[in-house]
A and B are shown apart, each in its own frame.
Chain A
Amino acid sequence: MRIPKTGTILQLLGVILIVFLALFPLYWMFNVSLLPEAEVIKTHPHYYPLSSIITFKAYKDLIIGSSIFKFVLNSIIIVFLASLITLFLSFPIAYSIAKYNFKLKKYLQYGIIWLLALPWVVYVLPIFTIVSKLNLLDTHILMIMLYGFSGIPLFSWFILPFMYTFPSELIDAGRLDGCSEWSIVVRIVIPALKNAFIAVFILRFVWAYNDLLYSLSFTFNKAKMIMPAILEIPGYYEVPFAKMSAGGILAVLPILLIVIIFQKYVVSGLTGRTLK
């Protein structure tokens, strides 16, 4: 029998530690969500839900007592349409920066970087004043527009490296064949970059779904989204830990599924920007 080297053992310990640290928070949220409230407020917490006390009461309370599914659905609908808009508008911007030469191009790129850095909160107050005059507060259409348009600078910056690596020869070949600039985009560029599009779309979806600032500031009731909704679970007089955890689990579930299913795209989307 081969005796494992100390290096291998250290690596194994490292793997176990990383896996534990990365999964523990989610595990803990799930664990607490399955306990009755009275069992959560114990000096020594339950490290796993005993089968004798396990309960779905927190979930039941949320589903029956509040419109949590409506809020999740609102978020998904708004963010899905908004991500399509972001992609549709950011792609041509990145394409023209990468493949066309024009005056002020350098300044446009510095401008985009500047826009990335401005905190979102500076837009909240003026947008709030304007949309309340337009009677658009708490509407789906407002949120779709806001999340659709607010991603333009960040996501054109994200798509840019994919565009730079796209071979210009293909575009030139298309021009020689007499394709118009439009059909080059539609027939050559878009099909070739399908995977990059999926990656960026998923990223934008996750990003906007998880955002709190806009959803908290502009949705209250009809178009209320899930992130501000779970924040309302703890009240002034009681802090129901199990219910808060159950709300957290329900809120992150859609994104967890997406990230697990489309893992490959998520990684390529995230790393494309930093490496090229």
Chain B
Amino acid sequence: MSRTKPLIFLLVIPFLFFILSHTIPLLYGIGLSFYNWRGKFVGLTNYSAVLRDSMFWNSLRFTLTYALIVALSMTFLGLFLGVFINQLKIGQTLVKSVILIPWAISLTAWGLLGQVALSKQFGVINDLLVRFGVIKSGVAWLGEPNLAKISVIVSRIYKDVWFSALLFLVARQTIPTELYDESKVCGAGSWQNFWYITLPLLKPNILFIGTVLFIFALQEFDLIFALTEGGPGFATEVASINIFRQGVRYGKYEYATAVATIWSLIVTVFVIIIFAPLQKRAIEK
């Protein structure tokens, strides 16, 4: 059919640019992971070295914890914020434009700001917490492993919870007002409205936004690199930083590509189990 002919130009050629610039190097990288640095084929040696490396398992564990907490908090805080902003009668326009500001700030600058604000001796966060009596003296937010993990997670949520609120705000506004008028007639309060109308109708959005945030949080690199560079020690090292450190910093290409391959496999499993089924509805319509 003549109508499928344009597809070569519309679809195949544009996509080839991605395949040539990214997918082919990816395959080359996977190939590289079976060799040692002298270029000798070593089979699965790199892989067994990765699997014996406790640093790999630690970064894996922290990546999953990080992604799960970040995605869940951003989704639910964003949902409440979005619903709250939607029912504002005053200042809604102001709020809508203001919440785009944190989204515009790059994660790198956000990380630098975090270093400034979370400093143990001179940081504003410690000063505020001491003034309000939450803590007695300054805490080393970025110097102690568990605190550093909390700092990284909280600052990530703080930056983009607004973005998720905006998504839920717009989603909420697509619910027809008649539904709420009707429930008003039946005497329902605002809490009941939320529980019986808003929440069920937003369920697809919640699932969708939650999984997208989770998938993107698994790729996290920028913020953690700028805020702690994976430290102290390797406490906040996520998979991306682990691969970057092994490959770019230490120059262990073959080892790092083995980690990258394992990590791609894990992500693929996530996509098959959770992301793709959610997209199925959109795809098969």
Contacts and interface: CB of A to CB of B under 8 A. Distances in A.
Interface string B232-274: 0000000110011001100001001100110110011011000
Nearest to A161: B282
Interface in A150-196: 150, 152-153, 181-182, 185
B11 interface: yes
Nearest to B102: A22
B98 interface: yes
Contact of B121 (A11, A43, A100): A43
Interface stretch (B49-57, B82-90, B146-154, B180-188): B82-90
Interface stretch (B40-48, B109-117, B193-201): B109-117
A199 interface: no
Nearest to A209: B106
Given A113-B271, A259-B101, A122 B243 contact: yes
Given A106-B283, A113-B275, A149-B17, A15 B104 contact: no
Nearest to A123: B22
A15 B94 contact: yes
Interface string A191-213: 00000000000000010011111
A203 B180 CA distance: 34
A67 interface: no
A124 B28 contact: no
Interface string B67-110: 00000000000000100110111110011111111111111111
Contacts of A62: none
A155 to B, nearest CB: 11
A34 to B, nearest CB: 13
Contact of A128 (B4, B11, B104, B248): B248
Contacts, number: 298
Nearest to B267: A117
A210 B107 contact: yes
Nearest to B223: A212
Given A8-B90, A100-B4, A212-B222, A123 B25 contact: yes
Contact of A42 (B21, B122, B163): B122
Interface string A9-22: 00110110011011
Contacts of B106: 209-210, 212, 227, 251-252, 255
Interface residues of B, number: 99
A124 B248 contact: yes
A100 B21 CA distance: 26
A45 B115 contact: no
Given A11-B89, A110-B276, A150 B271 contact: no
Contacts of A213: 221-222, 240, 244
A19 B89 contact: no
Ordered nearest first, which 9 A-B pairs have the shortest CB separation?
Answer: A126-B29, A210-B106, A126-B25, A248-B109, A92-B10, A119-B219, A89-B14, A15-B91, A259-B104
9 contacts: A18-B99, A93-B11, A118-B264, A119-B218, A119-B239, A123-B25, A212-B226, A233-B112, A256-B104
Given A25-B158, A206-B104, 18 more contacts: A11-B89, A19-B95, A26-B101, A41-B121, A42-B122, A93-B15, A117-B270, A119-B239, A122-B264, A126-B257, A145-B21, A185-B10, A211-B222, A217-B248, A230-B109, A245-B116, A248-B113, A259-B104
